[in-house]
């Protein structure tokens, strides 16, 4: 069976095994990536299991970078090395260029997203997603734990009952660095994350902690977590 994964280019020795390829696993018609940033690494395996992907972010510059990559514009970041690495994890190193084009075809829209709003995508009308993916986003977007709870409830409005929520984020990180700029991060503990996800109407199917951390010049986290939750149906 193909191994589907999310790898983090800042931590090449870590990857998160998402059960995309299982018949009863995380797959379907539509995946919405919440807080994509200017990156596409988190979608490289997802494009094998979802017909359509929507990338979103709050920052306009990030949306512009995504559009630049999609349209193959001059100056677009090259993800070729990451493509090769992910294909190697999946068992076919030679398929990098093919996967890159497949992902471009799968990404149908790049949209503005604000997780603090009850309608995170504003007035845009979309079918309910089969999966929501959020990678290293919510700890930066939410200033406190009540805001984190609220964001998860807001995002749930985008997901169909029985659909999946996949979150990868830092544990117990109060800051992160981009160049010389320091940004605040919500310090999340395992039990706080689990409680917030359950309160938002999900059952937790998988929760793993990766002990590897960033260097102190990048962040002060104590590992990363990987969560798969399933949205409860009304009868559950």
Beta bridge partners of 11: 8
Who has greater pLDDT, 14 or 27?
A: 27
Is the confidence at residue 135, as pLDDT, over 70? yes
In 3D, which of 115, 114, 219 has the Cα closest to residue 170? Answer: 219
Classify residue 17: in a domain, yes or no: no
What global pTM score does this model have?
0.90
> Is 150 annotated for ligand binding?
no
Q: Is residue 15 part of a domain?
A: no
For residues 147-172, give the mean pLDDT: 97
From CA 16, how far away is CA 227, in angstroms rounded?
Answer: 10
Q: What values do phi and psi take at 66, rounded to 5? A: -65, -45
pLDDT reported for residue 20: 59
* Number of structural domains the chain divides into: 1
Q: Is the pLDDT of residue 236 over 80?
A: no
Residue 16 lies in a domain: no
- Report which secondary-structure segment, H or E, holds 195: helix 190-199
Report whether 114 belongs to an annotated binding site: yes
Residue 103 in domain: yes
- C-beta neighbour count of 46 within 10 angstroms: 23
User: For residue 35, what is the domain's CATH number?
Assistant: 3.40.50.150
Residue 89 lies in a domain: yes
d(CA 116, CA 142): 8
Confidence class for position 16, pLDDT limits 50, 70, 90: low
Indicate the pairing of strand 175-178 with strand 181-184: antiparallel
36 is in an annotated binding site: yes
Q: pLDDT category, 88, cuts 50, 70, 90?
A: confident
**Residue 35 labelled as part of a binding site:** yes
Residue 18 lies in a domain: no
Report yes or no on 236 lying in a domain. no
19 located within any domain? no
Residue range of the domain that includes 111? 3-9+26-231
């Amino acid at each position: 069976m193909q191994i589907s994964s999310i790898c983090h280019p800042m931590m090449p020795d870590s990857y998160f095994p998402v059960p995309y390829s299982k018949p009863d696993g995380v797959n379907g018609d539509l995946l919405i990536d919440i807080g994509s940033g200017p990156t596409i690494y988190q979608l490289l395996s997802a494009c094998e299991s979802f017909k359509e992907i929507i990338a979103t972010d709050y920052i306009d510059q990030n949306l512009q970078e995504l559009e630049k990559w999609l349209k193959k514009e001059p100056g677009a970041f090259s993800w070729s090395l990451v493509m090769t690495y992910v294909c190697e994890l999946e068992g076919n190193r030679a398929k990098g260029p093919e996967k890159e084009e497949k992902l471009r075809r799968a990404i149908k829209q790049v949209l503005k997203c604000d997780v603090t709003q009850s309608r995170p995508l504003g007035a845009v009308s979309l079918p309910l997603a089969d999966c929501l993916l959020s990678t290293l986003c919510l700890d930066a977007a939410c200033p406190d734990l009540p805001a984190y709870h609220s964001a998860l409830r807001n995002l749930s409005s985008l997901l169909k009952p029985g659909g999946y929520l996949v979150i990868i984020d830092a544990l117990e990180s109060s800051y992160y660095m981009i160049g010389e700029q320091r940004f605040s991060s919500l310090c999340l503990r395992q039990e706080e994350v689990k409680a917030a996800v359950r309160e938002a109407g999900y059952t937790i199917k998988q929760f793993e902690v990766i002990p590897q951390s960033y260097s102190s010049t990048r962040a002060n986290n104590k590992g990363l977590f990987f969560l798969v939750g399933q949205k409860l149906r009304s009868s559950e």
